[in-house]
Amino acid sequence: MEQRYATAPDQIPGMTTEDLRRRYLVPDLFVDDEIRTVYTHHDRVVLGGISPVSAPLSLPGYPEIRSEQFFDHREAGIVNVGGPGTVTVDGTEHRLAHGACLYVGRGAADVVLASDDAAGEQGAARFYLFSAPAHTAYPTTLVEPGQGTVRELGDQVTSNRRTLNQYIHENGVKSCQVVMGVTTLHPGSMWNTMPAHTHDRRTECYLYFDLPAEARVVHLLGEPTETRHMVVADREAIISPSWSVHSGVGTAAYSFVWAMAGENQAFDDMDGFDVATMR
């Protein structure tokens, strides 16, 4: 499990492109037949990429979280950004189509992830995991793609028409901390999360997916008056500390998994600002 310590906004001005990418970009999460994990000390979030190709993979415990089983004192949302697959939690099999989301509650002991047909037309399943510490156990629950609470946002005229699906949230699948969903840009729209915001109460991570291989998202980060950018490829994740803007523009339409953890779960508790004040 890779460790990334927390950072403060006053470190941003001195960072090179490579510094920014080393701190905030999570590339190479999805490697055939591997489980890759990154522990950010921002709200103690663990990000994972699980890519079962030739055989199912069992999620282990890790010394970094001092637990025998991964879910001893944690919960997670898992979104499948690849071909169809299954997540079996303590013997109960959950089928995850592309874009489906499974909440796994504290106390799950045996979690096995598998692809339906890694060699098939849709390829191997690619499971993206976002985990946070949990104080109690909520039931493991599956949400089919598009079956969460839907919000239609933006406008074609401003190139930011998008459909936001809330899966794990206050009025949906219950959790201790994790708030998670998927946003999909409409064809011809390229901007996500604009007007942008921060939320000093929560860390948020984005995982871009369904972005064509040759396309990129130019993702903004940093305080609103001291922004930087990173150029991000398909199935790469970004860690946005509570003080950081998180917004991006693609060279093609795309989807992204957004997920948060921290002080509260109030989706609309955002610190907004005028675009004209950004620097």
Binding site annotation covers 186? no
| Positions in 202-231 near Zn ion (CB under 5 A) | 204
- Give yes or no for residue 43 binding Zn ion (CB under 5 A): no
In whole angstroms, the minimum distance from the beta carbon of 197 to ligand LADIRMRS comes to 7
Bridging pattern class, strands 74-80 and 127-133: antiparallel
* Closer Cβ to ligand LADIRMRS, 139 or 188, answer by number: 188
Taking CA 160 as the corner, what is the angle to CA 154 and CA 161, rounded to the nearest 5 degrees?
A: 55
Rg of the chain over all Cα atoms, to the nearest angstrom: 18
To the nearest whole angstrom, how small is the minimum distance from the Cβ of residue 195 to ligand LADIRMRS? 9
DSSP annotation of 187 reads T
* Residue 98, annotated as binding a ligand: no
What's the CA gap between 201 and 219, in Å, rounded?
21
154-183 binders of ligand LADIRMRS (CB under 6 A): 162, 164, 183
Distance of CA 264 to the CA centre of its chain: 17
> Binding site annotation covers 197?
yes
Tell the smallest beta-carbon distance from residue 246 to Zn ion (Å).
Answer: 6
From the list Zn ion, ligand LADIRMRS, none, partner contacted by residue 192 (C-beta under 5 to 8 A by kind): ligand LADIRMRS
Dihedral (CA of 247, 102, 123, 237) sign: positive
Q: Which residue is nearest to ligand LADIRMRS (CB)?
A: 183
CB 90 within 8 A of CB 108: yes
- Which residues between 170 and 209 bind Zn ion (CB under 5 A)? 204
| Smallest separation, CB 121 to ligand LADIRMRS (Å) | 29
5 Cβ partners below 8 Å, 6+ apart?
Answer: 41
Q: How far is CA 201 from the centre of its chain?
A: 17
Q: Is 226 marked as binding a ligand?
A: no
The binding site for Zn ion (CB under 5 A) comprises 204
